[in-house]
Structure 1
Amino acid sequence: MSRPAQSHHAPGQDDRILYRGKKIDLALRPVTLSDGTTAEREVVLHRGAVALLPLLDGGARVCLIRNRRYAINKTLLEVPAGTIDPGEPPDACALRELREETGYIAGRLSLLTEWWVSPGLFTERMYLFRCDDLRPGPHARELDEQIEPVEVPWEQAVAMALDGRIEDAKSMLAILYWDRMRRESGA
């Protein structure tokens, strides 16, 4: 793949930037309403992100992470993920985030799908990668991350996505999407 992510973080020509942050900017974007008048809408500008399915034992297990989420003051079970750096291709971000959060190095990386995270407010595009042929290596977590890798049997991960033990939307989508794809392909 090795192409830069589309720059959804860049402001539109007429955006009025209210806040510039490390990972997001907040803008007011002018829009034309159906009656021809103009209004402003709040838009969160985001560079995009990756979500990862690190598969072990030919897909019999998946490496998830316990991740402390400060916004909700709770630790969640999630697929590894991370924000794309400026100018970074999504696949390079996927390899970096896999190593940082799990310690694994992927021998093979496959883009499964991509989606808009919350298009009513965010410009964030998420890229879902399947990670295979994993080799253990050192993790490189950021100082503010409280992450613990957890290896889970695949069928248990699917059950957790369905019964509410996995509460994170990207993780639920990633697990259920891949489960459907692998069942349809007979893998």
Structure 2
Amino acid sequence: MARVEREEVLFRGSRCTLVRAHVTCRDGQLRPHDFLSVADAVGVIAWLDDGQLVLVRQLRPAIGRALIELPAGHLEPGESALETARRELVEETGFTASAWRPLTVFYPSCGKLSERMHLYEARGLIAGTARPEPNEDIEVVTASLPEALRLARAGEIADSKTLLALMIASGAPLEAVAGDAAS
């Protein structure tokens, strides 16, 4: 079995660190493996009392386009995943929630990122004023679960956290959620 012998920092940015892991492979050779070390994150599937989902549309510079996704964000130092989920829901949408339930924890891209993503469900929403960070240009979008699944099939919802949350919410198999966006 391969194993990590040591790691070195190649670059430290404001939101991520580029790390080179030196890995001993099965053949005994030491090989480099570069990855990004980033803070863990949360995503929130938030339900209005009428069954609509609260989503956000925002530009994702890494892919050069806007996506519709769950409200989400990275943990700040000393902050729990639930505290982050509560903070991000208010910042991005203005909503607070009276009921929270953890759904799952997963690795969005374990081959190149160290990030763990915590998914939460929020209910009992109370409207307030959004407080996005200065670098965020966010539009709040609401959709029924069937409409969100249609948006996923159309590729307008295409990020892993939102697709997984929709799968959990619908009980649908992956191909029914990802649809044409997977090809």
**TM-score scaled by structure 2?**
0.86
Query: Is 1:40 equivalent to 2:32 in the alignment?
Result: yes
CA shift digits 1:111-164 (9 cap, x unpaired): 101111111111110011001111011211011101011111222112222332
Query: Are residues 1:145 and 2:136 paired?
Result: yes
Matched, 1:52 2:44: yes
Identity of aligned residues (%): 34
Match of 2:100, SS state, is: strand
1:109 equivalent to 2:100? Answer yes
Match of 1:81 among 69, 72, 75: 72
Per the alignment, in what secondary structure is the counterpart of residue 171 of structure 2? helix
Please give the residue correspondences for 1:131-170 in structure 2 after superposition, counting only pairs within 5 Å: 131-170=122-161
Residue ranges of structure 2 left out of the alignment (5+ in a row):
173-183
Match among 8, 29, 36 for residue 16 of structure 1: 8
Gaps of 5+ in 1: 1-11, 182-187
- Deviation at 1:176? 1.7
Specify the code of the residue in structure 2 equivalent to 1:29: A
Aligned residue among 30, 35, 52 for 2:22 = 30
Deviation at 1:13, TM superposition (A): 8.1
Indicate whether 1:128 and 2:85 are aligned.
no
Q: Judge conservation of contact 1:161–1:176 (CA < 8 Å) in 2.
A: no
Post-superposition, which runs of at least 4 consecutive aligned residues in structure 1 deviate over 4 A?
Answer: none
Whole-Å separation in 2 of the counterparts to 1:35 and 1:153: 52
Aligned length: 169
Structure 1 residue 90, shift from structure 2 partner: 0.3
In the aligned structure 1, how far is the partner of 2:12 from the partner of 2:79?
Answer: 20
TM-aligned CA distance change 1:13 to 1:111, over 3 Å: farther
Q: Distance in 1 between matches of 2:47 and 2:86?
A: 14
The answer for the alignment partner of 2:177 in structure 1 is none
* Deviation at residue 168 of structure 1 after TM alignment: 2.1
- TM-score, normalised via structure 1 length: 0.85
Alignment correspondent of 1:4: none
* Residue pair 1:23, 1:83 contacting (<8 A) in 2 also: no
Paired with 1:162 and 1:169, the residues of 2 have a C-alpha distance of 13
Question: Amino acid of the residue matched to residue 94 of structure 2?
Answer: G
